[in-house]
């Protein structure tokens, strides 16, 4: 079994806090290398992410915050870096992010490579920095070659590793890794894995982020209609088989997008193991 990691989002309400507590308690036994905490849409969870990082680290988990630059100033990002160092974080997930709702300025740092370079200037090698990768191309990229150049730029700015957008076509991942290696880049590229529990939700996510759901999966899911048990069972089997192929093909680790739920991820892990 390869190393695994989990992604959570920072809770805001009492109910969300309770949900995350239950999820962390159940996933802890899977032995993740680390967990990450998102920064929220458009950086809307500026205080919630550090609070969640502190809570998870106090609970004994190596917790890595996501940090974004879109809409923020150098001083704001500098303050977050100081805070995360004070909290004991040694790993960051550095992303461009989305422009916060209602803001018209992209901020002082506009792209992820600029953010990575700024992190290195401010903190040296203190943080292990992960960046995003897009095996099926970033939805805003001009073309696949431009997307590849953007990724290479982030790595050369100082990234230690990459986590991919989720996908359901293993060939897309393997081809992306091959293309990256031809550019002389040898950092670990970890597949991001999205378990399927609510297919309608996953279809919405996929439309937004450009992740392709193979037609045969869609047709099978549609045939199950409102049969939630069959959807969950089939989803766990499909994603479990995807993970097995990725691991057998040399993926260095697996990073699970949990959506703050434990059961879908545990079901995939049971198939994988």
Domain architecture of the chain: domains with CATH: 4-272 (3.20.20.220)
The whole-number pLDDT of residue 106 equals: 60
Backbone angles phi, psi at 140, to 5 degrees: -100, 0
Identify the DSSP state of 106: -
> Is the CB of residue 127 less than 8 Å from the CB of residue 119?
yes
| DSSP H helices in 62-111 | 74-86
Tell me which residues are annotated as active site: 7
Q: Give this prediction's pTM.
A: 0.94
Average pLDDT, the chain: 93
Residues in the chain: 273
**pLDDT category of residue 99 using cuts at 50, 70 and 90:** low
Angle between helices 228-248 and 170-182 (to 10 degrees): 30
User: What local confidence, expressed as pLDDT, does residue 151 receive?
Assistant: 98
* Rounded Cα distance, 262 and 273, in Å: 16
Per-residue pLDDT tens over the stretch 2-41? 999 999 999 999 999 999 999 999 999 999 999 999 986 4
CA dist., res. 190 & res. 252, Å (int): 6
């Amino acid at each position: 079994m390869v190393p695994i990691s989990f992604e959570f989002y920072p809770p805001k309400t009492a109910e969300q806090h309770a949900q995350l507590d239950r999820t962390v308690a159940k996933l802890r036994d899977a032995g993740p290398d680390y967990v990450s905490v998102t920064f929220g849409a458009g950086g809307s969870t500026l205080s919630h992410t550090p609070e969640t990082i502190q809570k998870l680290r106090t609970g004994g988990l190596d917790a890595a915050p996501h940090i974004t630059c879109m809409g923020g100033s150098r001083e704001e990002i500098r303050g977050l870096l100081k805070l995360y160092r004070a909290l004991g974080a040694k790993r960051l997930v550095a992303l461009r992010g989305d422009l916060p709702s209602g803001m018209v300025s992209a901020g002082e740092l506009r792209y992820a490579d600029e953010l990575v370079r700024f992190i290195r200037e401010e903190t040296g090698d203190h943080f292990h920095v992960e960046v995003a990768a897009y095996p099926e191309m970033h939805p805003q990229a001009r073309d696949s070659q431009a997307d590849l150049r953007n990724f290479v730029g982030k790595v050369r700015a100082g990234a230690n590793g990459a986590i991919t957008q989720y996908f359901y076509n293993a060939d897309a991942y393997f081809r992306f890794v091959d293309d990256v290696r031809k550019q002389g880049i040898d950092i670990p590229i970890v597949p991001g894995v999205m378990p399927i529990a609510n297919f309608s939700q996953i279809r919405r996510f996929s439309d937004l982020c450009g992740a392709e759901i193979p037609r045969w999966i869609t047709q099978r899911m549609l045939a199950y209609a409102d049969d939630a048990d069959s959807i969950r069972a089939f989803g766990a089997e499909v994603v479990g088989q995807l993970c097995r192929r990725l691991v057998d093909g040399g993926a260095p680790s697996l990073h699970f997008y949990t959506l703050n739920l434990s059961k879908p991820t545990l079901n995939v892990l049971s198939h994988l193991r």
